Amino acid sequence: MLRGFYGAASGMLTQQRRTEMLNDNLANINTPGYKADQASVRTFPELLMQAQGANNQPGRSNQIGSMATGVYMQERTQNFAQGDLQETGNATDVALLQVTLPENEEGEAGALFYTTSNEDGEARYTRNANFTVDGEGFLTTSDGYYILGTNGEPLDVGNENFTVAEDGAVTDEDGAVVGQIEVAYAENANDLVKEGSGLLRPEGEEEELPSAVGNEDIDFSLSQGFIERSNVDANQTMTKLMNAYRVFESNQRMLQTYDQSMERAVNEIGRLG
C-alpha cells in the first residue's frame, strides 16, 4: 500500500511540473522568437512480483507480474522549430529564417541564432529579433544587449535608417556597409541553457558556437521589417494543459483512496488485534 502512495504522489509531482512548463509556454506565446518547452515523462523501473511458498511448498515461488513504481519528468527540452514570420514594418525588426540545416549524429537538425554580448562581455544567443538602436547608435536587443557582427564587435548602425540584406550585410543611411550580422549555428541546440531575457548559453564551459556565415551546408536568410513569432501552438498547449489537470486529479483521488484504506487498517484492523 505504501508503494501506492509513492506512485500516486510521483504522478502528481510530474503533472505539476508539466503544468508549470505548459503555463510558461502560454505566457510567452507573444514573445518574438520564443521556443516552446517539451516534457519527457518516464517511468521508474518496474518491480517483478513473486509469491513465495507457492502451492504450500517452501522455497518455491510463482511470478505474479510486474508493478510500476511511479513516473517522473526526466527533462525539459526546447522545440527549435521555425516560427511563423510576422510583418511589422519596423526597420529594427530582423527575423532569422532557417532554410537548410545539416543533421547531427542523432539525425536532428540544429538551430541558428543571433549572437549577443552580455554585461560581462560573454557571448549569448537569441532568436528574439525585436531589436532597437541605443543612444550611441549600436544595434541591441530590446533588453540592451549588443548584437554582434561577424568580426565579433557590436554593430554601429548610427540610427534606425539602416538596411539589412538577406545575407545579413548592414548598410547605414548613407549607403556605407557597416558590417554583417553574425549568425551562429548550434549542432545540438538542446545543449543550450535558458538564461532569461530570451538569451541562451552553452551548457558548462563549452566554447562559443561556430558561425553559420559562409558555411556551404547551411542556408538562411534575414528579413528586415519582420519578427519571428513564438512557435507555441495555443490550441495544442491548452489541450495538453487540460490533460495534465485531469491526470493530476486522478492521482489525487487515488492518493485519497490509499489514505482512507490506511486509516481503516490502522483504526479497525489494528483494534481487532
pLDDT band at 257 (very low <50, low <70, confident <90, very high): confident
Segment 138-157, tens digit of pLDDT: 999 988 999 999 999 999 99
Query: What's the pLDDT at 58?
Result: 54
Mean pLDDT of 35-50: 69
C-alpha dist (Å) from residue 270 to 5, 179, 258, 263: 20, 81, 17, 10
Query: What's the pLDDT at 219?
Result: 94
pLDDT above 90 coverage of the chain, percent: 54
Query: What's the pLDDT at 196?
Result: 83
Distance CA 181, CA 226 (A): 16
Burial class (CB in 10 A: 0-12, 13-18, 19+), 181: buried
pLDDT band at 71 (very low <50, low <70, confident <90, very high): confident
Q: What's the whole-number average pLDDT of the chain?
A: 84
Q: Which of 80, 83, 78, 71 is nearest to 21 (CA)?
A: 78
Asked whether residue 112 carries a pLDDT value surpassing 90, the answer given is yes
Mean pLDDT of 102-114: 86
Segment 167-214, tens digit of pLDDT: 999 999 999 999 999 999 999 888 898 888 889 998 866 678 999 999
Segment 224-251, tens digit of pLDDT: 999 999 999 999 999 999 999 898 888 8
pLDDT band at 68 (very low <50, low <70, confident <90, very high): low
The dihedral region occupied by 154, where left means phi > 0, alpha psi between -120 and 50, and beta the remainder, is beta
Return the number of other C-beta atoms located less than 10 Å from residue 158's C-beta.
Answer: 16
pLDDT band at 15 (very low <50, low <70, confident <90, very high): confident
Asked whether residue 64 carries a pLDDT value surpassing 70, the answer given is no
C-alpha cell at 224: 528586415
Return the number of other C-beta atoms located less than 10 Å from residue 238's C-beta.
Answer: 12
Mean pLDDT lowest among 107-111, 113-117, 246-250, 260-264: 260-264
* Helix or strand run (H / E) with residue 27: helix 2-27
Spell out the domain ranges in the chain: 2-78+232-272, 85-228
Burial 61-98 (b: 16+ CB within 10 A, else e): eeeeeeeeebbebeebebebebbebeebeebbbbbbbb
Question: pTM of the entire structure?
Answer: 0.78
Determine contact, residues 184/209, Cβ cutoff 8 Å.
yes
Mean pLDDT lowest among 15-29, 31-45, 75-89, 181-195: 31-45
Mean pLDDT of 96-116: 89
- Taking CB atoms within 8 Å and a gap of at least 24, the contacts of 21-28 are 21/76, 22/237, 22/240, 22/241, 22/244, 23/241, 25/232, 25/237, 26/232, 26/234, 26/237, 26/238, 26/241, 28/230, 28/232
pLDDT band at 43 (very low <50, low <70, confident <90, very high): low
* 251 φ/ψ angles, rounded to the nearest 5 degrees: -65, -35
